[in-house]
Amino acid sequence: AWVGFLIGQRYGQLGPAGSTSSVTVQFGDTLWAIAERSGLKGDIRDVVGRIAQLNGIKAGQIEAGQELYLPNH
């Protein structure tokens, strides 16, 4: 999944709320794992919450192939 994260990462694109990058969910990914790999600072629970909120995700439901925007800080 880590390689998929690197391949899926896109820089220089603006998504919702001024996000600066996105990631394509790989099979087996979780919001927690994506948050850990994102490099975003802060409590991991807060990072998961920010990613979920930015993408309108409820109950942590994500699917392989889905594009998620990452907050810019």
Query: Along the chain (73 residues), what's the average pLDDT of each consecutive run of 10 residues?
Result: 42 49 96 95 95 91 96 83
In a 3-state reduction of DSSP, which class is residue 6?
A: helix
Q: How far apart are CA 17 and CA 19, in angstroms?
A: 6
Confidence at residue 50, expressed as pLDDT on a 0 to 100 scale: 95
Q: How far apart are CA 44 and CA 50, in angstroms?
A: 10
Nearest to 33 by CA among 17, 68, 14, 16: 68
Query: What distance, in Å, lies between the first and last C-alpha atoms of the chain?
Result: 23
CB 58 within 8 A of CB 49: no
Confidence at residue 20, expressed as pLDDT on a 0 to 100 scale: 64
Confidence at residue 1, expressed as pLDDT on a 0 to 100 scale: 45
